Amino acid sequence: CSCTDVHQLDRAEVLEFFLLLRGPAYWHILQVDNKNSTISKMSFRSIEQLLRRNSKIKISQSIIANGIHDPKEEQSVQALRESLLASNQLPEKFDDHHVLLRFLRMRGFNIIKAKEMFLNMLKWREDCAVDTIAKDFKFEEFDALKRCYPHGFHGVDRFGRPLYIERIGSVDLSKLMQVTSIDRYIKYHISEQEKTLSLRYPACSLAAKKHISSTTAILDVKGLGMNNFSKAAREMFIEIQKIDSNYYPETLHQLYIINAGSGFRALWRVLKAFMEARTLKKIQVLGTNYLSTVLEAVEPSNLPEFLGGTCSCSATGGCLLQDKGPWTDAGIIRASKVRLLIR
């Protein structure tokens, strides 16, 4: 976004975009009459300083009054934050209420365990150069991968969360291992997780006008069982599960495993041994009569026809090829660029 683009925006519009992206803690400011307030006349630097100062408040009374945050959760988040700051182990990038809350929830609000998990995440990011992967990793085999492994984001659920769909029962595993390696696929997975945190969740939050920080997922396992789930596939599953649970906790809202036959259910008994109990509670294993359950969470227009919905995406080559969602909307992309400039 060039400087000319920014100057063409109304200052109140820029502020509204920024406040929406910052999350519920700042939405009460949007209720101010911009024409009669001093906020609309403030410089970008003044706005940034105001928001940074407000973000350090221990407990925001307006948030609690509106019922957005639970006071006990606020206290736990603050306790974890103060502990990390005291040991100089809280990078500004992760100094965020919702980020710290995810680690607390995953560890049952045990401050010591949540801090340990958080620090393990920081070490993993450094050891694996995650920031470099997010910025520079090029997955040239993307198109080839999609042809043998149908998966992708496709719209949002009824709450506004990103909807992720994977047809793992249709995976050609031998071809998958020919077009990429386990190491490169894991890097691709990490880059997608980083994109979800930095782009998809903020865009969905802006579109829904509420904080979005988790994903609804559908896993179609038709035809999948013990016999066709190879050693390489098991190794990949275990590594990805480890990464998601340990370093991206609480980003799964709900997982619907559909078309689960007897072969998959036998496999599932093995796989779930590698998963956190809290994660397992978010998973529903369904047979072929899954549609009514899934439609409680997803509008038919956001569900592909091959799963019983009404979307075909024929103009773009198929529902799992275009990364459809608020994060591809031109207006929201524009708002995201404004957000980066204000930072």
What is d(CA 140, CA 30) in angstroms, rounded to the nearest whole number? 43
CA angle 138, 177, 306 (to 5 degrees): 85
DSSP reduced 3-state for 254:
strand
CA-based nearest residue to 15, from 2, 3, 26: 26
Residue ranges of domains in the chain? 46-128, 135-341
Res 342 pLDDT > 80: no
DSSP string, 64-129: HHTTSS-HHHHHHHHHHHHHHHHTT---GGG--HHHHHHHHHHTTT-HHHHHHHHHHHHHHHHHTT
Q: How confident is the model at residue 334 (pLDDT cuts 50, 70, 90)?
A: confident
Q: How confident is the model at residue 59 (pLDDT cuts 50, 70, 90)?
A: very low
The rounded percent of the chain whose pLDDT value lies above 90 is: 58
Q: How confident is the model at residue 14 (pLDDT cuts 50, 70, 90)?
A: low
pLDDT at 36: 47
Take residue 286 and report the two structure tokens written for it: 């369904």
Query: Distance of alpha carbon 224 from its chain centroid, rounded?
Result: 26
What is d(CA 17, CA 311) in angstroms, rounded to the nearest whole number? 30
What is d(CA 342, CA 45) in angstroms, rounded to the nearest whole number? 8
pLDDT digit string, tens, across residues 155-213: 999 999 999 999 998 888 888 889 999 999 999 999 999 999 999 999 999 999 999 99
- Say which amino acid occupies 254: Q
What is d(CA 90, CA 12) in angstroms, rounded to the nearest whole number? 32
CATH superfamily of 135-341: CRAL-TRIO lipid binding domain (3.40.525.10)
Q: How confident is the model at residue 239 (pLDDT cuts 50, 70, 90)?
A: very high
What is d(CA 337, CA 233) in angstroms, rounded to the nearest whole number? 38
Q: pTM value?
A: 0.79
What is d(CA 309, CA 331) in angstroms, rounded to the nearest whole number? 27
Res 333 pLDDT > 70: yes
Res 64 pLDDT > 50: no
The CATH architecture annotation of domain 46-128 reads Orthogonal Bundle (1.10)
CA distances from 4 to 8, 18, 66, 109, 268 (A): 6, 18, 38, 47, 55
pLDDT at 13: 52
**Contact partners, residue 80, CB within 8 Å, separation at least 6:** 100, 103, 104, 111, 114, 115, 118
Mean pLDDT rounded to a whole number for the chain: 82
Res 290 pLDDT > 70: yes
What is d(CA 156, CA 325) in angstroms, rounded to the nearest whole number? 7
Q: How confident is the model at residue 227 (pLDDT cuts 50, 70, 90)?
A: confident
What is d(CA 315, CA 300) in angstroms, rounded to the nearest whole number? 18
Q: How confident is the model at residue 76 (pLDDT cuts 50, 70, 90)?
A: very high
Res 1 pLDDT > 90: no
**Contact partners, residue 157, CB within 8 Å, separation at least 6:** 163, 216, 253, 297, 298, 299, 302
CA-based nearest residue to 329, from 159, 197, 205: 205
pLDDT at 339: 57
pLDDT at 104: 97
CA-based nearest residue to 232, from 180, 310, 288: 180
pLDDT at 93: 93
CA angle 79, 280, 244 (to 5 degrees): 60
Which phi-psi region, left, alpha or beta, contains residue 160 (left: φ > 0; alpha: ψ -120 to 50)? left
CA-based nearest residue to 321, from 144, 161, 137, 150: 150
Give the dihedral sign, CA 31/34/37/42: positive
What is d(CA 53, CA 250) in angstroms, rounded to the nearest whole number? 28
What is d(CA 142, CA 95) in angstroms, rounded to the nearest whole number? 33
